[in-house]
């Protein structure tokens, strides 16, 4: 029985969960206050407007209550004062892999970054705790004017563009509690600019890793795809397993200008002690196309709803999501689309798997504004429940403010059918193999949208999570 | 929401088939299931072998008991709250209608408690008023499937016009195993009317082999109608079959064109298509469906619709507001 990918399922989660010795160059005292914010800003030598933005964010954060809907956040709320909001690794950013300090290099080699880069990426960035430690862009793209750098450097070298796009119209600093916090303490992240008409044919990649215990990661990613350009950006995340809570409150802002196309893929695999409260949003202009591909496997608690604001005529958004909730996990994910211009279209496909008492929720929004005549939207959610302990929730909100539209939503919840298992077993598969095959088939439409390394990794992770599920 | 789970489980386990003989006993059943009780202080036990029963309008609300094995149709246009307890193996056909002839606001909370093998066929209609189009309607309908083998079928329709607002909350709570539910809502919104739909299917951890379906379709016609639909699924175990669907759209342009090309005026054509949208549901409701259909028809032939219809056909779609921002200066 040849099942090439499924034969070798020996993946060791410890390669993600193992921590390196914590040896930072500098770390801010725990908690967040004006002093910490000033320290971060000064350490980066930022212009005054950015410091003012951070302070404004902090002020809003202090005056706003934590959200009371969705998953239980009480653990992280209790721990928030002891989180280190800024940890500077002992390394200067480098474009040569060999220049990285041994332990950081070792971590990334364990995860497999360099091989991936050698094979198929046109650029890669790696962030370790609060700052980017490695960055490389193939010369070909450099010459065409593509900018792929870290946010701190972008702030130094392209201040006008950053000032114009950074937390202004897409995700303003007053958006919600964790965005306010992000505005105050953000550090690192990626900046991408693709000039008009340039099509970056191979993906750009960044990998984020939290190493410090009670750490926080607040990377800011800003992608600007100018008229008629194309880019695919992939992001991977992991953190070692500690007993105390860690917080990831990153922010992604994407600008898809006229006729441009951006694909944003991410596979998040933070350790189970992580609260992943991330904000991702794209502004899509006329004829632009935004594609979100999300895999949420890690984190104890995830609240993530990538959003596309379709503000130009005929703009399109496509969102694909897969969430896996195992024991003690609550994956509260979904997609949002705001149709703000005529003849805009959107497609949302979400799949979730719950197992061992895990809770997966789809929470989404389709909003069609009065001016968005002739818009179309389709939302499809499928949930698979592996056992009777687990939970699946679906909350798809549709706010339709325009008569000339076509909106459809469908959702199904079910388990693996006894008939399907019986069929595969009669073909000589063990029950466990049969279950894995069915689950692999369930997530296949999403996995096939990812580049090879990631789809293999996602498949392996799901298999790992599925191990021992027979019984 | 999950906090009440244990109370509901206990309630399900302790469900006794003794019928309530007082309001407080009826309330206790709901409370044991973790539910808030509507305001329903008039107590009615439907006598044996009654086939049709009409609730008396009462601002203090009605509590109704359907005795085991009975089969009855209850008409409720009382515009008040209600608690209904359906005994084992009893069948209830429950017709709730809200009209706002002289009022500008109607609001009702109704909870039905279904015991073992009980069946409920619930029809809920909000039919507005023939004289004005400025009322607001609010209905919160809940079914507790509390006995093994209980089944619920819920169908609701409303047709909004003018400045009316409609809010329809339907909650289908599967407390125990082998319970089945089917929910269907059809709404058409004209003019500047707005609708809000909140539908919930909740299946508790011990409620296995359940089957639940939910569907809500809305037709938007004319000037500035608005719909906010949130169909929710909360599924706490894997041995279930559950799905839902929502569609929101405008009148299909092709049949409209066809009717117009046959010389039918726009307003009549639209009114025919709206009736066609409701018909499959109304026909399945029998005589009650015919009455509701008549109320809808009188609304559709009103002057208001004609003006709406022509506005619909004469506007070419121009964006009302430009939401774009200036383009990046670099290019």
Q: In the numeric block, which tokens belong to residue B217?
A: 């379709």
Supply the pLDDT for residue A90: 61
What CA–CA distance (Å, rounded) separates A209 from A131?
Answer: 10
How close A99 gets to chain B, by Cα (Å)? 35
- Number of domains, chain B: 1
CB contact under 8 A, B320 and A370: yes
**Closest CA of chain A from B290, distance in Å:** 27
- Looking at the complex, does the CB of residue B1 fall below 8 Å from at least one CB of chain A? no
Spell out which residues of chain B touch residue A404, defining contact as CB-CB under 8 Å: 220, 250, 317
**Is B319 in contact with A341 (Cβ distance < 8 A)?**
yes
| Helices A431-447 + A452-466 axis angle, to 10 | 150
Whether B323 and A404 lie within 8 Å, measured CB to CB: no
Taking an 8 Å cut-off on Cβ atoms, the answer to whether A398 and B234 are in contact is no
Inter-chain residue contact A227 with B331, CB threshold 8 Å: yes
Q: Is residue B240 part of a domain?
A: yes
Q: Which secondary structure element, helix H or strand E, spans residue A56, and what is its range?
A: helix A48-62
How high is the pLDDT of residue B315? 44
Is B223 contained in some domain? yes
Name residues of chain A where pLDDT drops below 50.
1-12, 470-471
Contacts of A420 in chain B (CB under 8 A): none
Q: What is the pLDDT of residues B205-230, one digit of tens each?
A: 989 999 999 999 999 987 788 999 99
Higher-confidence position of A8 and B132: B132
Nearest to B250 among A226, A405, A411 (CB): A405
From CA A463, how far away is CA A355, in angstroms rounded? 12
The token pair that represents A368 in the structure block: 């069609």
Q: For position A465, what pLDDT does the model report?
A: 67
Residues in B 228-257 with any Cβ partner in A closer than 8 A: 228-250
Whole-Å CA distances, B170 to A469, B122, B138: 36, 11, 11
Interface test with B, best of A364, A403, A408 (most B CBs within 10 A): A403
Of A255, A369, A413, the CB nearest to B235: A413
Task: Determine, for residues A196 and B247 on separate chains, whether the beta-carbon distance falls below 8 Å.
Answer: no
Distance from CA of B331 to the nearest CA of A (A): 7
Q: How confident is the model at residue B308 (pLDDT cuts 50, 70, 90)?
A: low
Residue B170's pLDDT is 96
pLDDT tens for B60-77 read 889 999 999 999 999 998
Whose structure tokens read 């390196």? A20
Q: What average pLDDT does this structure show over B76-99?
A: 91
By CA distance, what is A338's nearest residue in B?
A: B323
Please judge whether A226 and B330 are an interchain contact, meaning their C-beta atoms are less than 8 angstroms apart. yes
Mutate to test the interface with B, among A162, A362, A398, A405 (most CBs of B within 10 A): A398
Q: How far is A161 from chain B (nearest CA, A)?
A: 9
Whole-angstrom distance, CA of residue B276 vs CA of residue B282: 10
Q: For residue A442, what pLDDT is reported? A: 86
**Looking at the domain assignment, is residue B201 inside a domain?**
yes
Range of the domain at B30: 2-250
Task: Show the tokens assigned to A281.
Answer: 């949003």
pLDDT of residue B2: 43
B residues 196..225 contacting A (CB < 8 A): 205, 208, 218, 220-225
Question: B68, exposed or middle or buried, with CB in 10 Å at 0-12, 13-18, 19+?
Answer: middle
Q: Does the distance separating the beta carbons of B238 and A400 come in below 8 Å?
A: no
pLDDT of the residue at A53? 95
**Per-residue pLDDT at B8:** 54
Is B228 within 8 Å of A255 when comparing Cβ atoms?
A: no
Residue of chain B minimizing CA distance to A384: B238
8 Å CB contact between A113 and A207: yes
Q: Domain for residue B65, yes or no?
A: yes
CB spacing of A257 vs B327 below 8 angstroms: yes
Q: How far apart (Å, rounded) are the C-alpha atoms in residues B158 and B188?
A: 7
Beta strands in B105-193 (DSSP E): 105-114, 119-128, 136-145, 151-160, 165-174, 180-189
Looking at the domain assignment, is residue B302 inside a domain?
no
Q: How far apart are the first and last CA of chain B?
A: 52
Q: How far apart are CA A184 and CA A35, in angstroms?
A: 11
**Chain B residues near residue A164 by CB distance under 8 angstroms:** 328
A396/B230 Cβ within 8 A: yes
For A447-467, the pLDDT digits (tens) are: 777 766 666 667 776 776 666
- Asked whether residue B321 is domain-assigned, the answer is no
* pLDDT tens by residue, B249-294: 888 888 888 888 999 888 888 888 888 999 989 998 888 899 899 8
* Interatomic CA distance for residues B181 and A159, integer angstroms: 59
- Cα dihedral across residues A85, A88, A93, A94: positive or negative: negative
Q: Is residue B326 very low, low, confident or very high in pLDDT (cuts 50, 70, 90)?
A: very low
């Amino acid at each position: 029985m040849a099942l090439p990918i499924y034969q070798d399922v020996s993946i060791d989660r410890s390669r993600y969960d193992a921590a390196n010795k914590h040896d930072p160059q500098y770390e801010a005292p725990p908690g967040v206050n004006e002093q910490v914010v000033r320290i971060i800003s000064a350490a980066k030598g930022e212009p005054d407007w950015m410091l003012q933005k951070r302070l404004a964010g902090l002020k809003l954060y202090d005056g706003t209550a934590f959200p009371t809907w969705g998953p239980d956040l009480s653990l992280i709320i209790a721990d928030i004062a002891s989180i280190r909001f800024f940890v500077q690794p002992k390394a200067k950013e480098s474009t040569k892999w060999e220049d990285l300090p041994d332990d950081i290099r070792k971590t990334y080699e364990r995860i497999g970054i360099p091989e991936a880069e050698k094979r198929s990426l046109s650029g890669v960035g790696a962030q370790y705790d609060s700052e980017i430690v490695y960055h490389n862009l193939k010369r070909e793209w450099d010459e065409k004017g593509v900018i792929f750098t870290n946010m701190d450097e972008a702030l130094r070298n392209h201040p006008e563009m950053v000032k114009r796009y950074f937390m202004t119209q897409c995700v303003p600093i007053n958006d919600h509690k964790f965005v306010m916090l992000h505005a105050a303490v953000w550090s690192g992240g990626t900046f991408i600019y693709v000039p008009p008409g340039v099509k970056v044919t191979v993906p750009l990649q960044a990998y984020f890793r939290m190493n410090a215990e009670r750490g926080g990661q607040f990377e800011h990613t800003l992608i600007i795809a100018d008229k008629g350009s194309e880019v695919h950006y992939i992001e991977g995340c992991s953190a070692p397993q500690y007993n105390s809570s860690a917080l990831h409150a990153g922010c992604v802002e994407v600008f898809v200008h006229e006729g441009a196309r951006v694909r944003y893929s991410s596979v998040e695999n933070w350790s189970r002690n992580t609260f992943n409260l991330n904000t991702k949003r794209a502004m899509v202009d006329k004829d632009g196309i935004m594609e979100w591909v999300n895999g949420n496997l890690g984190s104890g608690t995830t609240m993530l709803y990538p959003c596309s604001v379709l503000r130009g005529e005929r703009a399109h958004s496509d969102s694909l999501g897969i969430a896996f909730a195992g024991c003690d996990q609550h994956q509260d994910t979904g997609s949002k689309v705001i149709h703000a211009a005529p003849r805009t279209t959107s497609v949302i496909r979400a799949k979730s798997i719950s197992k061992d008492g895990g809770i997966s929720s789809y929470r989404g929004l389709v909003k069609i504004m009065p001016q968005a005549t002739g818009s179309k939207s389709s939302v499809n959610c499928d949930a698979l429940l592996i056992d009777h302990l687990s939970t699946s929730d679906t909350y798809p909100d549709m706010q339709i403010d325009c008569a000339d539209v076509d909106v459809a939503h469908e959702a199904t919840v079910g388990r693996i059918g006894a008939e399907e298992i019986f069929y595969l077993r009669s073909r000589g598969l063990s029950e466990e193999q049969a279950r894995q095959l069915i689950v692999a088939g369930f997530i296949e439409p999403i996995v096939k949208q990812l580049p090879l390394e990631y789809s293999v990794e996602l498949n392996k992770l799901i298999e790992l999570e599925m191990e021992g599920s027979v019984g | 929401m999950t906090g009440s789970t244990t109370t509901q489980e206990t309630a399900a386990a302790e469900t006794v088939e003794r019928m309530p003989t007082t309001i407080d006993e009826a309330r206790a059943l709901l409370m044991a299931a973790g539910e808030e009780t509507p305001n329903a202080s008039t107590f009615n036990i439907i006598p044996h072998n009654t086939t049709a029963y009409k609730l008396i309008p009462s601002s203090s609300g009605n509590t109704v008991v359907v005795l085991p094995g009975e089969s009855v149709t209850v008409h409720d246009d009382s515009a008040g709250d209600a608690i209904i307890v359906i005994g084992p193996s009893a069948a209830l056909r429950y017709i709730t209608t809200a009209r706002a002839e002289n009022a500008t606001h109607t609001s009702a909370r109704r909870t039905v408690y279904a015991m073992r093998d009980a069946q409920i066929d619930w029809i809920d209609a909000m039919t507005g008023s023939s004289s004005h189009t400025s009322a607001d309607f609010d209905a919160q309908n809940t079914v507790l499937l509390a006995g093994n083998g209980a089944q619920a079928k819920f169908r609701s329709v409303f047709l909004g016009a003018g400045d009316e607002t409609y809010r329809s909350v339907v909650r289908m709570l599967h407390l125990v195993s082998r319970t089945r539910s089917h929910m269907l809502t059809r709404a058409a919104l004209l003019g500047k009317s707005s609708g809000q739909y909140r539908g919930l299917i909740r299946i508790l951890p011990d409620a296995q082999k359940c089957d639940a379906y939910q569907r809500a379709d809305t037709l938007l016609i004319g000037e500035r109608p608005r719909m906010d639909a949130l169909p929710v699924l909360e599924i706490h175990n894997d041995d279930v079959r559950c799905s839902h669907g929502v569609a929101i759209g405008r009148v299909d342009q092709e049949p409209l064109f066809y009717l117009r090309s046959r010389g039918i005026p726009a307003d009549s054509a639209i009114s025919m298509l709206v009736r066609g949208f409701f018909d499959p549901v109304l026909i399945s409701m029998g005589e009650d469906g015919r009455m509701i259909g008549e109320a809808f028809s009188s609304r559709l032939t009103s002057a208001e619709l004609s003006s709406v219809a022509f506005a619909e056909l004469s506007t070419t779609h121009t964006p009302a507001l430009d939401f774009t921002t200036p383009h990046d200066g670099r290019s």
